[in-house]
Structures are given as structure tokens and as C-alpha cells.
Amino acid sequence: MSVLALTATACGSGDTKEDKSLREQVEVSGAFGEPPKIEIDAPLELTESSSWTEEKGDGDSVGEDSTAILELSLANGSTGKAAISTIDQGRPLEIKLGEQVFPSLNAALVDKPADSRIVVASVADDAYGDSGSPQSGIEGGDPVVMVADILSTDPTSSLDGPTGDTVAAPASAPKLKEKDGVPVRLTFGKARKPKKLTVIQLREGTGPPIESPDRITADYLGQVWDGKKPFGSTFTKQPAEFSIGLGGVVQAWDKALDGQKEGARVMIISPPDLGYGSTPQPNIPANSTLVFVVDVLGVG
């Protein structure tokens, strides 16, 4: 979480019923993904929380237990003044619905498609409650207006495997071994260990590209250079979901997967400084060069 905390101190209804007269009191303008201009006929008098779609996108829908990536801007409903924004902080917000999220915002996001702009007019009990957030300019009991631009969410469907043309890896690369078509390990033989981040395309992919920050579904295998077996793999388990471009994965992934298409299979050779560096991990010694094979199965 960023410093824009979204934990409510009290829980109200989180009702998302639209109130047409309320929309006349709250006007939002500006382009999606850019700082919104929030104009409020303050003080805003609310008896329940309400939300509406200012701009409807066509991306995957946010599920009840999804993770979503947002640009979120808040204004004080009592004074009409801007409070805090992730856009000003220079970093989108990654939130897990149902956890550390205002009830009013949580309710407003469910079933909304990515690339949508959602406006929430929240009573205090569904936002900061009686404690407020004085450091953000919101006192206890103040209603809050939120503008949420949904940049990405968990893919609602995913591929069974990579798609598109197969690309021959260079002779200097590690070899991927499969069993019944499933990647199981890497062999190194006469492979030459690079000193810099190396990205080797194995399948092109035919779907939409990853545009950081993005939520993706993927299968992966990871192995230490010259290791005998992987330290981790999802190829015989459920695919993983994670964000690209927010620092939640090793830097090598953030750099290598940005721009990869849905359906791509890519080998990523990460030098220590873009992996775990001097900090050892289970089955990963300090200062290890790591090799990953990643199948991009869905882009949210």
C-alpha cells in the first residue's frame, strides 16, 4: 500500500445506488489516467454512499476478490478541497478487494471493467469514519469523494498455453526440457552466462501486450544458473497472478515482461542485481544468476 491508506474505521452500507441529484453536486472532468478535476457543491449532504461510472472501459471486470490497479484521487466532501491522489504520488495503487479497502470503494469497483473511471460519493462511515485522515485534509465525519481510474485487474480468462510462432533460442542459451509437453527443468551444458539482463523469445504470443502496470496470469519456472532442478514452478499447479510494473516481482520480470504479448513464452536470464542480489532465498544462494521461463497466459 502507498501512504494513501484505504482502511475504514467503521463500516456502513457501501450502497452503490445512483442518486441523480447527487451527480449534479459532484462534477468530474479530465482524461482517464490523468489528474481529475473534482468540483463539489460543498458541503455535500449524504445519507448513504453512492457511485456511478463516469467513463466505461472495455477491459476485464473486477471480481469480488480480485486485485485491481488504480489511479485514485480523493476530495473532502465537506470543503470541496482536493485531499490526496496517487497521481501526485507518482505511483498507482494496488488493492486487494475486501482487504484494506473502504466499503464504499470496494462495492463500487465490483463488476466494473478495467479502463473505467468510477466516481464514489462516500459517507464517512464507509471511508475514514470518525478518525478522519487529517494529514490528507479530511477530518473525522467528513464525507469523501473518490475518483478511481481502473488501470488493470486480474484477467477473467486465461490461455491453456503459449500461442504464436516458435522462435529458436540461440545456442548459447540454457535448454528447456519438457515432459509430455510440460516444462520441467533447464540444462546448462555449454551455455554462456551473460552479465546483463537477457530476454529470449521462445513463443511470440498473439494477444494483447502487457502495458505496465498490468495484472497478468502466468506459468513460470525458475532455476539458479547451473542448478540441477528448479527452485520453483507452477507448470504442474495453478497459474500465478501478479502485477507487472509495480515492484511486486523481481526487477528482471518488471523489465523483461513489459510489452510481451498474451500467449508469449519467454526465457529471462537475470543477473543477481535484478534478482535477489546478496540476500539468499530458499534454494537460492546469495548473488545467484537466475533463469526463468514464463508463459504469459492472460493480461488484465
pLDDT, tens digit (0-9, with 9 covering 90-100), for 223-235: 999 999 999 999 9
**pLDDT score, position 52:** 96
Length of the chain: 300
Q: From CA 226, how far away is CA 238, in angstroms rounded?
A: 26
Close Cβ partners of 229 (under 8 Å, ≥ 6 residues apart) = 185, 223
Per-residue model confidence (pLDDT) at position 14 = 39
CB contact at 8 A, 214 and 152: yes
What's the confidence (pLDDT) of residue 23?
A: 86
pLDDT tens sequence across 253-290: 999 999 999 999 999 999 999 999 999 999 999 999 99
Can you give the residue ranges of every domain in the chain?
A: 20-153, 175-299
Around 281, how many Cα atoms within 13 Å sit in the side-chain half-sphere? Answer: 15
pLDDT of residue 17: 43
DSSP 8-state code for residue 286: T
Where does the pLDDT of residue 4 fall: very low under 50, low under 70, confident under 90, or very high at 90 and above?
low
pLDDT at 297 over 80: yes
Q: What is the pLDDT of residue 264?
A: 98
What does the alpha-carbon distance between residue 273 and residue 76 come to, in Å, rounded to a whole number?
A: 43
Nearest to 24 by CA among 59, 50, 58: 50
The β-bridge partners of 270 are 290
Right CATH number for 20-153 from 3.10.50.40, 3.30.1390.10, 3.40.50.1100, 3.30.460.10?
3.10.50.40
Q: Could you tell me the pLDDT band of residue 100, with boundaries at 50, 70 and 90? A: confident
Does this model's pTM top 0.75? My answer is yes
Non-local (6+) Cβ contacts of 69 within 8 A are: 92, 93, 94, 150, 151, 152, 153, 213, 214, 215, 243, 246
Specify the higher pLDDT residue, 20 or 130: 130
Contact (Cβ atoms closer than 8 angstroms) between residue 140 and residue 130: yes
Q: What is the mean pLDDT of residues 292-300?
A: 97
Residue 6: band (very low, low, confident or very high) from pLDDT cuts 50, 70, 90: low
DSSP string across 253-273: HHHHHTTPBTT-EEEEEE-GG
Mean pLDDT of the chain: 93
Secondary structure letter of residue 137 according to DSSP:
T
Q: Compute the Cα dihedral for 66, 6, 22, 47 and give only its sign.
A: positive
* Secondary-structure class of domain 175-299 per CATH: alpha beta
Whole-number pLDDT of residue 21: 81
Please write the tens of the pLDDT for every residue from 163-184.
999 999 999 999 999 999 999 9
For β-strands 50-55 and 182-187, DSSP reports them as unpaired
**Tens digit of each residue's pLDDT (9 = 90 or more) over 115-165:** 999 999 999 999 999 999 999 999 999 999 999 999 999 999 999 999 999
Cα 205 off chain centre by: 21
Tell me if domain 20-153 and domain 175-299 are identical in fold: yes
| In contact, 75 and 83? CB cutoff 8 Å | yes
Per-residue pLDDT at 1: 33
Q: What is the pLDDT of residue 206?
A: 97
Q: For residue 101, which of 141, 146, 140 has the smallest C-alpha distance?
A: 146
At residue 45, does pLDDT exceed 50? yes
Q: Are strands 265-270 and 290-299 parallel, antiparallel or unpaired?
A: antiparallel
Sign of CA dihedral 215, 221, 224, 225: negative
Measured torsion, CA atoms of residues 56, 62, 67, 71, in degrees rounded to the nearest 10: 10
Distance CA 266, CA 159 (A): 15
